[in-house]
């Protein structure tokens, strides 16, 4: 039986939890492969020849779990007192006048390909991923069901770009600290939830016992689909087909998504450029694994036609314990992060994807200017940074500025709504006119407080 996460009618459930409607719909969809002379391979071949499988406009969102230190990465203050400046020195980039941390030399060589926002304001003060994924302050009033995250809104407004890939895939690992986890689809419901191939939710990709690993075996897959057809009453129609079920069936009857997730098919030299990490090793137990290859998988998913890919990377809440001091952890984390993020940006350019794919990197807040011997740099909602690449934006610049201790924005404060409006604009979605209906039927705008597109970038 195809097992997917989705909405269903509780009145018609079978003993295994599936509804008659979903079973019939899946079977009818499978039967389409033989109806009217159209087989699945012929449909895929037609899509390929028509050019519909080319990468659409897309976004990769990278969440640095726990709040990365802006003044140790992209907004150094070398002339501040030592208890504020820290041990790192700035280095020049390939763009005159822009400096970043000396521990990020690969990124320094490609500053013309990205933009640093040093003045992101309006941050919430807690370890909470919600604002990262939907741009809204979690303490403000929200509609019934909650605000959808970015990928869910894109799914609702634009849908899938190709029948062979979902509009939204999450590569986020489940963190034991609940607030670190990305929010759900909110009032849009499970139809617009992300497809999750990571961790325990790999069960979403099971069809009659055919797992993600066995999806490479086309004969086993076809045998499973044939059995599914025989199990279904062929006289029933497609009336009321559930969108999520239809999407899942399409994914599982094509190897395109499975191949995108399988980096063993990638050139080993490319894998080495990104680096690899152990997905079972969670940083500080409650953070996310430090898995550089997630960025490579994200690029592969974008190539497969996914519109939005989200991922969480490592744990950036560095204080407490004898070794877990901020500068020990920075010395460990910065070089790995520098390697994988620069590889992603280079890879997108080399493969001709950088105009169509925008990359955004950020965390939930900034860090305190003063370094404490007990907690390192603590939570600091007054100012934060955002890193943007690709998307045919005007790069090679810094937007905004902070004061002499990187504690407050003193020039061009930027809101979360403005960054999100810019990302929506890249996808071709107007945030000044586009709305989605909440559970009460009220139209809701996509961004908070009427955020406008950043004119510096578009």
SS3 string, 333-368, reads HHHHHHHHHHHHHHHHHHCCCCCCEEEEEECCCEEC
145 occurs within a structural domain = yes
What's the pTM?
A: 0.81
- Residue whose structure tokens are 């890249």: 426
Is there a contact between 148 and 192 (Cβ–Cβ < 8 Å)?
yes
What element of type H or E holds 42?
Answer: helix 40-50
**For helices 20-31 and 243-252, angle between their N-to-C axes, nearest 10 degrees:** 40
315 occurs within a structural domain = yes
The CA distance from 360 to 425, in Å, is 14
Q: What is the pLDDT of residue 1?
A: 36
Angle at 243 between CA 237 and CA 247, to 5 degrees: 100
Q: What is the pLDDT of residue 258?
A: 82
207 occurs within a structural domain = no
pLDDT digits (tens, 9 = 90+) for 49-68: 444 445 699 999 999 999 99
**Residue 408, both tokens:** 């407050």
- Beta carbons within 8 Å of 128's beta carbon, 6+ residues apart: 138, 179, 364
**SS3 of 118, please?**
strand
Q: What is the pLDDT of residue 8?
A: 34
Q: What is the pLDDT of residue 44?
A: 43
Q: What is the pLDDT of residue 87?
A: 94
Domain CATH number, residue 320: 3.40.720.10
Number of domains comprising the chain: 1
| Burial of 255 per CB tally in 10 Å (0-12, 13-18, 19+) | middle
Residue burial 137-175, b: 16+ Cβ < 10 Å; e: rest: bbeeebeeebbbbbbbbbbbbbebbbbbbbbbbbbbbbb
* Domain carrying residue 155: 58-198+279-450
251 half-sphere exposure, CB direction, 13 A CA radius? 34
- Beta carbons within 8 Å of 308's beta carbon, 6+ residues apart: 58, 59, 61, 150, 151, 154, 155, 167, 168, 169, 194
Quick one: three-class SS letters along 244-293? HHHHHHHHHCCCHHHHHHCHHHCCHHHHHHHCCCCCCCECCCCCCECCCH
The CA distance from 32 to 119, in Å, is 53
99 alpha carbon, distance to own chain's centre: 27
Question: Which has the closest alpha carbon to 175: 276, 284, 278, 67?
Answer: 284
What element of type H or E holds 310?
Answer: strand 308-313
Residue 64 DSSP code? E
Give me Rg for the CA atoms of the chain.
Answer: 23
- Below-70 pLDDT ranges, the chain: 1-55, 199-255, 320-324
- Beta carbons within 8 Å of 274's beta carbon, 6+ residues apart: 292, 293, 295, 296, 339, 340, 343, 344, 347
Angle at 165 between CA 162 and CA 170, to 5 degrees: 135
100 occurs within a structural domain = yes
Is there a contact between 83 and 98 (Cβ–Cβ < 8 Å)?
no
The CA distance from 447 to 421, in Å, is 7
**SS3 of 143, please?**
coil
pLDDT digits (tens, 9 = 90+) for 81-128: 999 999 999 999 999 999 999 999 999 999 999 999 999 999 999 999
| Burial of 392 per CB tally in 10 Å (0-12, 13-18, 19+) | middle
Q: What is the pLDDT of residue 373?
A: 81
Q: What is the pLDDT of residue 228?
A: 54
């Amino acid at each position: 039986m195809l097992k997917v996460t989705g909405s269903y009618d509780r009145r018609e459930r079978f003993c295994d939890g599936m509804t008659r409607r979903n079973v019939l719909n899946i079977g009818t969809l499978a039967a389409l492969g033989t109806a009217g002379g159209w087989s699945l391979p012929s449909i895929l071949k037609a899509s390929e020849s028509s050019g519909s499988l080319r990468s659409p406009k897309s976004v990769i969102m990278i969440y640095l779990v726990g709040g990365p230190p802006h003044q140790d990465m992209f907004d150094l203050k070398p002339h501040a007192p030592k208890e504020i400046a820290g041990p790192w020195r700035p280095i020049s980039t390939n763009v005159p006048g822009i400096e970043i941390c000396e521990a990020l030399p690969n990124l320094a060589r490609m500053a013309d390909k990205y933009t640093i926002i040093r003045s992101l304001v309006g941050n919430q003060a807690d370890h909470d991923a919600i604002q990262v994924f939907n741009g809204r302050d979690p303490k403000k009033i929200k509609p019934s069901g909650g605000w959808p995250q970015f990928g869910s809104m894109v799914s609702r407004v634009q849908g899938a770009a190709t029948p062979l890939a979902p509009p939204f895939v999450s590569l986020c690992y489940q963190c034991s600290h609940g607030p670190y986890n990305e929010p759900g689809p909110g009032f849009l419901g499970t139809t617009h939830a992300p497809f999750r191939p990571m961790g325990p939710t790999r069960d979403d990709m099971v069809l009659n016992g055919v797992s993600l690993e066995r999806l490479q075996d086309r004969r086993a897959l076809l045998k499973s689909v044939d059995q599914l057809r025989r199990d279904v009453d062929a006289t029933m129609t497609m009336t009321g087909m559930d969108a999520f079920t239809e999407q899942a069936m399409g994914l599982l009857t094509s190897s395109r998504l499975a191949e995108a997730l399988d980096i063993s098919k990638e050139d080993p030299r490319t894998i080495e450029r990104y680096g690899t990490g152990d997905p079972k090793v969670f940083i500080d137990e409650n953070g996310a694994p430090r898995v550089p290859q997630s960025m490579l998988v994200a690029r592969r998913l974008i190539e497969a036609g996914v519109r939005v890919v989200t991922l969480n990377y490592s744990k950036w809440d560095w204080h407490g314990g004898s070794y877990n001091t901020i500068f020990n952890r920075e010395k460990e984390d910065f070089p790995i992060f520098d390697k994988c993020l620069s590889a992603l940006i280079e890879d997108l350019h080399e493969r001709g994807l950088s105009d169509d794919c925008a990359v955004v990197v950020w965390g939930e807040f900034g860090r305190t200017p003063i370094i404490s011997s007990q907690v390192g740099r603590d939570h600091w909602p007054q100012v934060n940074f955002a890193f943007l690449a690709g998307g045919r934006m005007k790069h090679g610049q810094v937007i905004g500025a902070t004061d002499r201790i990187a504690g407050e924005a003193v020039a061009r404060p930027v809101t979360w709504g403005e960054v999100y409006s810019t990302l929506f604009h890249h996808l071709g979605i107007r945030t000044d006119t586009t709305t989605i209906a909440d559970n009460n039927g009220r139209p809701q705008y996509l961004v908070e407080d009427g955020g406008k597109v950043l004119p510096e970038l578009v």
